[in-house]
Amino acid sequence: MSLLARAPSSVLLPDGTAATGRYEGRIARLDWGGLAAADRRPFWWRTLRHKRWQYLGIGSQHLFVGLAIVDLGWGCTAFAYLFERGSRTLLADWSQDGIKGWSGAVSDAPVTGSRVHFRGPGARLSWQHDARSDSLHVHVAVPGLALEATVSLSDAPPLLLAIGPIGEAGDGLAHATQKTSALPVQGWAQAGGQRFDLANAVASLDSSHGLLAHCTAWQWACAHRPGLGFNLQAGYFGAHENALWLDGQLIPLGAARFDFDAADPLAPWRVRTDDGLLDLDFQPEGARGEQRNLGLVASRYVQPVGTFSGYVRASDGAAPRPVHDLLGVTEDHSSRW
């Protein structure tokens, strides 16, 4: 039996307020047009505060690949990296900024019908949904990394949809995100003179769209394998998107706490929820990070790759389920955007 209500048809209620909640299932669009609080703001404000992104993580015994395309409202940016777990090194680490609309775009459709792309000097990055096979076709051709993959959604565990107000003070209003757990992958990746078969890899997709504050910060953790996965966030969206996938069931989680050394993100982390359903230690193997400061616009970002061990519970009072060597990422991120 599902613990969450079915996904609504819109992120908005008829009165123009956000349909706040955690839901199970797909939504056709993440579209904040018609949000009553935003309609009272000037056009330039709505343009600057709209942030859309899709992030695709692909992990296996041998590697972790992180791909992202971000519509900043006033511009766009993208990154792609491949972390090789045996040597604990980044074999590829690429990022590039571009012109909104021309260089890149992120569709309002988060999963079904979704289409995202980025193009720049010597770089092409895209994935799009194929309705016939219910899969994502992923293409990456950027300096240092080539990848061709198909990510299947046809037998996906329940998808998470989270909608709600943002928790930070400031000039943001609302956010919505659609997230998956482990998805089968077929294809290959090539970096650092090595070619990797992705047949035993799993992917997870994060599609997000919000009217966010100029200064936004969060910690995030995400890890998945068949039958087990979780998504946690502490920061601007609070506990809205915290969830556990266990044996095909999507279970809401309480507020998350991240214990880590921001000055040394490769030291061990601990992540846990206040309802006692998740308590995990994270051992980083390496990280991808980036810092920028352009005055009005700045970002500080680090995404360690590693493994989680500890326990999860299906419910309060349920026996702990041991977790060992679950591949995933953590993230410490702050943006002035």
pTM of the predicted protein model: 0.97
**N-to-C CA span, the chain:** 41
Q: Give me the pLDDT at residue 169, please.
A: 57
Closest C-alpha among 267, 274, 203, 268 to residue 242? 274
Provide the pairing of β-strand 5-6 with 21-24.
parallel
pLDDT per residue, tens digit, the chain (337 aa), is 789 999 999 999 999 999 999 999 999 999 999 999 999 999 999 999 999 999 999 999 999 999 999 999 999 999 999 999 999 999 999 999 999 989 999 999 999 999 999 999 999 999 999 999 999 999 999 999 999 999 999 999 999 999 999 976 568 899 999 999 999 999 999 999 999 999 999 999 999 999 999 999 999 999 999 999 999 999 999 899 999 999 999 999 999 999 999 999 999 999 999 999 999 999 999 999 999 887 788 999 999 999 999 999 999 999 999 999 999 999 999 999 9
The distance between the two most distant Cα atoms of the chain, rounded to a whole number of Å, is: 56
- Tell me how far apart the alpha carbons of residues 156 and 142 are, in angstroms, rounded to a whole number: 29
For the chain, helix (H) and strand (E) counts, in that order, are: 2, 25
The DSSP code for 37 is H
- Distance, CA of 10 to CA of 28 (rounded, Å): 8
Q: Among candidates 214, 210, 212, which has minimal Cα distance to 297?
A: 214
Which residues, other chains included, contact 116 with Cβ-Cβ below 8 Å and sequence gap of 6+? 54, 69, 104, 105, 106, 107, 126, 127, 128
Count other Cβ atoms within 10 Å, centred on residue 202: 21
Q: What is the pLDDT of residue 167?
A: 74
Question: Which three-class secondary structure state does DSSP give residue 309?
Answer: strand
**Considering only CA atoms, which of 230, 259, 106 is closest in space to residue 157?**
230
Instruction: Specify the pLDDT at position 321.
Output: 98
Task: Compute the Cα dihedral for 180, 186, 190, 193 and give only its sign.
Answer: positive
- pLDDT for the residue numbered 88: 98
Q: Which residue has the tokens 């992030």?
A: 55
